[in-house]
Structures are given as structure tokens and as C-alpha cells.
Amino acid sequence: MEKIQTSKRLSLIKAMRFALGISALPLGFSAKADEKKLLIGYWPIAAGLPFFAALEKGFFKAAGVNVEAVKFASPSQVVEAMMAGRIDGCANGVAITALALADAQDPGNIKFTCVNFANEKYILDQVIVPVASPIKDISELSGKKVACGPGINNVTLAKAVMQGAGAKDAKVIELPIAQILPALSAGQVDAAYALEPTGVIGTQEKISRTIASGVVTKYVLGDNLPWIGGAAALTEATLKNKAALVPAYLSGYTAGVNYVRKEGLNANQYLAGYTAIEGELAKAVPINGYIDHNEVKTSDIKALQKLFDIFTERKVFEKTIPAGALFYKKT
């Protein structure tokens, strides 16, 4: 039976890779999960700040739970490790559409415990142009080349932003994040749909300038709905088999969220060691907005459902995914 279940998991992982357009990836961390601690995967980006702070400030330890951070090179690798049962969950910043798609392959396997969002106040997403470009509005990018980060999530949102802002026939070009600013500087692209810290770095290096911020909220979701782009989550197996550890873990994570809210940019000091963001750059990277597991409102579920529906309309999701069912609820 166990062999059959393992085979099923691997098949689900392959299906998820295919649907997201992900080629075969190294499986990364492979140690068996320890029953007395929680292994939490993370992608080294700023959105994981509450988790990093909770570790460094000792919030998990104070709550009485042993938590080990496991770094992965991409959000897809984090999700794969969760699906395979090699880690117990993930920190904020893992693409919420990747998590949702994985759960759709095996319903009920993933539960969001904290989500991170952006809007016109909590800036994460921007459209940037070369610093000397005459372009002042996204609508002027009709027929132009627009770069975005890798993956179907970025490509889908970049196209939706262009369409929503009136940039007709903009050609969206997928690039590794590290190549976006060089491509702008060299004139290979006319603009980019970029996530922080790309915008901050471009401004500091006088390579680019921002023509619009909070663009997913403004041009894709509308109604001032937040763009819930990432999530911390636990697997169904963890919630069942390590139930005794979960309350302490959630308490420690909540303390991390509250610390980030209170300290603001000062909390960015804990990005060092977990991400490539440190020093002067850390002082300028905007803070994400966070919705903890006990703060989810009907409007938040509505915002996430609208995002999911857009991915369904654009054939990224094969069928409608109900957002509300993915949120953790204390039983």
C-alpha cells in the first residue's frame, strides 16, 4: 500500500510540473522528516520575512517547537518536497498558484496558514522601464517587448497586467530574474513586470524607474482587492501526524508576523543569511502585507478566488479551484 501511495505522489508531482511548464528539477532536500520537529521549506525571497524573524528571534523555541528551515532554489521545488512528504510545510513567499495547483491534484493535502499580499500600499509588483525611456504609462507599451520573471505564474500575470492597462499586443518575454535589469539596460526589452527587489536595485543603480506599482491589484483584480501571491502552508499529513506540534508552530509564526508589522523595514535585518538581500538594499525593500491563519476574512477569500479564476480562464488551471477550502481552519 505504501508503495502505491508513493507512486501516486510521484505521479501527482509530474502532473504539477507539466501543468506549470516546469522541467525536471533536482529533488533537493531528501532527509526523512523528524517526528519531533517541523521541517519548513522556504524560497530565499523577502516575503519569507516573518518565518526568518521567528527563527532568529527565537519565537518558535519560546513557543516550544523545534523548527528547521530548509532552503530550496525555486518555489516549485518547495511544493514538490511537500507533495512527496519530505518536508512538513513552507514559509511565506511560495507561489500560491503552485500550491493550489498541487492541492488540486490531491485535494485536501495543503492548507494555507498565512498568506502574503501586495497592493498599492504594500508594494511588491511594478512595471519598470529604462531610466532614460520616454514611456510614462503602461498603455504606451502596446507592441513593445516586456520582460518578466520565469514561470507560468509570472507570465500569466504580466500578460494580464498589460491587457488590463491597455497595452495591446505587448510581447511578454520570460527571463531569469537576474537578467531583467541587464536586458533593460542593453535595450533588449522596453519594460519589465518586476517583483521586488528588482525595482529597488534598478533605482539604486540608476538602471530603471517605476511607471506603475501595485499593478496586479489595479489592473488585474480591481475593486482594490489585494494580490495574494504567496503563502505559508502545512501538509495534511503534518496536521494529522504532528498535530501536537502545530499549535506551538502557529503561535511562533504569528509572533513573527506581528514582529514584522511592528518593526517594518527594521525587520529586514533578518533577510540576511536567508536571502541575498542585505545591507543598504535591505533598508529599502518594501514589506509585504500578511494575513495570518486567524485573520482571514470573506473579502480575502474573494480576492484569492478572483486570482484563481483568472488562472482558470487563461487555461493554467484545468478547472475552478475553490480558494476557501485551502485555508487552514482550527478543528
219 within a domain of the structure (yes/no): no
285 within a domain of the structure (yes/no): yes
- Domain with 172 in it: what CATH number? 3.40.190.10
Do 93 and 242 fall into the same domain?
A: yes
Do 43 and 93 fall into the same domain?
A: yes
Q: Say how many C-beta atoms besides its own lie within 10 A of residue 285's C-beta.
A: 22
Domain limit, last residue, from 167, 188, 213: 213
Do 131 and 74 fall into the same domain?
A: no
Do 199 and 269 fall into the same domain?
A: no
Do 57 and 166 fall into the same domain?
A: no
Do 113 and 236 fall into the same domain?
A: yes
pLDDT digits (tens, 9 = 90+) for 220-232: 999 889 999 999 9
Do 115 and 238 fall into the same domain?
A: yes
Do 23 and 101 fall into the same domain?
A: yes
Domain span at residue 149 reads 125-213
Average pLDDT, the chain: 89
221 within a domain of the structure (yes/no): no
Nearest-CA neighbor of 254 among 216, 293, 220, 228?
293
Count of structural domains within the chain = 2
pLDDT-derived band at 75, boundaries 50, 70, 90: confident
243 within a domain of the structure (yes/no): yes
Residue 24 has pLDDT above 90, yes or no: no
Mean pLDDT, residues 270-276: 93
